[in-house]
Structure 1
Amino acid sequence: MRVTDITMPSGIAERPHDDRGYPVPAITPWEDGVPQFANTNMRRVFLCVEERRCTVCGKEMQPGPVWRVVDGDEAEMINAVLDVGKEFLNTAPTGEAPGHRTCMIYAAMVCPFLRSPEGRRGEASDMYGANLPKGDARGAGGAIVAYNDYGFEQTPAGPGVVYGTPIEIINYNRAEDLQDELTAALVTDETASGKAPVWLGEDEQLMESAFRRAMLSPAEQRALEAQKRAAQARKRQQKQAKASRKKNR
């Protein structure tokens, strides 16, 4: 199955594209106008989690389950506990935040690393002691999993995304295994409504500004809003004064 034959959800189609025409996920950083697909920006991840936004299309997610892609080993564990009706508890943080069901199915089908067992990791990763080398193969199996909850938390291993209880799983090995799931999801494409914020686009300065605002305390946020309102009021007064002077000439 060729990537170009896979129907793109509307929300992903609205994303900025690279020079080849490929859509760029919301958590992908940009450098000198070029998306760094192999990297994940944790500030973008934090902002998406805090505002409950899909990490692929950048649009808001409705209340309810959230979805993420997992590797074969984790899929096997989740399948085992779901089969016996037990609760799967995992308090370990990850740098991978969730998204819409449709977006995660599409991502698993088109991502060079996720779409087949032969997929290779584009960059090394040592987050949370994982020590995953560049070129490491995905291996057999994988899944898109729905969780009842998630959040960005400070843990003994460091800050990251922590998931609640898995409640549904879609197993796959290759991209074509997910075609029917994607076709069904596109019928009620949840990415069709809403809009992604500009700070999840290609301008890293806008993203940094949004991150700094998000890190303000409630009191600091109120003070900043008061400053904005005062500045807007001064601007209106200046405009009114200018109009009045022009009228009296």
Structure 2
Amino acid sequence: MVICVRHKRCWLCGQPLGKFMVFVIGPMCAVNRVSAEPPSHRKCALYAVQSCPFLTQPKMRRNEKDMPEHLAPAGIMLRRNPGVTMLWTTQSYTIFKAGNGALFNVGEPVQVEFFAEGRTATRDEIMASISTGMPSLRQMAERDGAEAVAELQVQYDRAMGLVPA
């Protein structure tokens, strides 16, 4: 990860990135605009959403067996398969420290694409993924108080503007 960030390399192929960078994220990451992984080339990201078993099979679970603790993602991860994956194309991002590592604030999107089962996701699939993920984010916000709940609503409304009609 350090090499990808320091040398502006693709998270998947390791080659230099260009002007446009693509984050492979779930819909909840579109709400909070945070990713645990650095960006990739669009071609590489497209390959991932069409080939990765976790991203193409909604019932697939992450294989965390024997995962060393130091490889755990930074921040708080929703431990579910969202069933829908986004390609979030941007020209910028920032990094911030989070507990045991770093997270990425994805920049403003130039383009977003939604995928399910290796193909373009339907609006119903997108909405189902969002509606099943929001309770977890809402619960976290409620623990932080009324301001956090209000901010989550603002973030949710902004993310809903990215969902196709």
TM over 0.5: yes
2:114 aligned with 1:167: no
Q: TM-score of the superposition, structure 1-length normalised?
A: 0.40
More strand per residue = 2
Match of 2:14 among 42, 50, 58: 58
* Paired letter, 1:130: M
1:183-194 alignment to 2 at 5 Å? none
**Can you give the 5+ residue segments of structure 1 that lack an aligned partner in the other structure?**
1-44, 78-88, 179-249
* Distance change in 2, residues 1:116/1:142 (3 Å): same
Counterpart CA distance in 2 for 1:56 and 1:151 is 19
Q: How does 1:220-231 map to 2 (within 5 A)?
A: none
Match for residue 48 of structure 1?
A: 4
Q: Which deviates the most, 119-128 or 102-111?
A: 119-128
Q: Give 3-state SS (helix, strand or coil) of 1:99's partner.
A: coil
Q: Work out whether 1:113 is the aligned partner of 2:54.
A: yes
Where in structure 2 are the equivalents of 1:1-249 lying within 5 Å? 45-62=1-18, 64-75=19-30, 77=31, 90=33, 92=34, 94-123=35-64, 125=72, 127-130=74-77, 132=79, 136=80, 138-154=81-97, 158-177=101-120
Displacement after TM superposition at 1:156 (Å): 7.3
Superposition TM-score, scaled by structure 2 size = 0.58
Partner AA of 2:27 in structure 1? G
In the alignment, which residue of structure 2 is the partner of 1:212?
none
Q: CA deviation at 1:131?
A: 6.0
Contact 1:50-1:152 at 8 Å conserved across structures: no
Amino acid aligned to 1:103 = C
Deviation, structure 1 residue 115: 1.3
Q: Distance in 1 between matches of 2:116 and 2:101?
A: 31
* Offset from partner CA, 1:73-115 (integer Å, 9 cap, x none): 345x4xxxxxxxxxxx74x5x4311110000000111111111
